[in-house]
Amino acid sequence: LDAFPAGARDQIRVQLASSVVAVISQCLLRTTDEKRVAAYEIMIRTDGIAAKIRENKTFQITSDIETGASRGMRTLDADLLALFNQGIIPEEEVFNYAQDAEMMRQRISQLAVSDGLAARHAQNPGKQHANSGQHGKPDQDGKKGCHTP
């Protein structure tokens, strides 16, 4: 929205709130076996999300995504944690892409204590994740990044 003149932003927010159906963002991550896997964030429009867009409260949308799992929504951090927990991506990749690194650090510590995660992670490097599909080679330029199609 910052690309638009300040006087037009309210109208752009109203138009976006009424027209958005979903937003899917993906990051291509390095796996423990040096292949690639995608991690996703999925937001599906709800009346609450549309209201937050209209009211310029987009910073609150993450909580809607977290509670919208039954509708198919998920946060990038939740997907990163699932990939790590399954031994597919190394911890370094989690923190390269985490939206909230401190919260992610706490969740990984809790899992490690309650689940013996470190041992399981070491035993199952490269295990297939639901998102893994075909692994590609690293980007030609070697850069990492998230992409919203």
Q: Which strands form 36-44's sheet, in the order they lie side by side?
A: 36-44, 22-30, 145-147
What SS3 state is found at 100?
A: coil
Alpha-carbon gap, residue 107 to 84, rounded angstroms: 11
Q: Are 24 and 42 in contact (CB under 8 A)?
A: yes
Alpha-carbon gap, residue 58 to 90, rounded angstroms: 30
Distance of CA 108 to the CA centre of its chain: 16
Give the tens place of pLDDT for each residue, 4-24: 899 999 999 999 999 999 999
Give the tens place of pLDDT for each residue, 78-121: 999 999 999 999 999 999 999 999 999 999 888 777 666 555 55
Tell me which of 145 and 20 has the higher pLDDT.
Answer: 20
Give the tens place of pLDDT for each residue, 26-79: 999 999 999 999 999 999 999 999 999 999 999 999 999 999 999 999 999 999
pLDDT at 121: 53
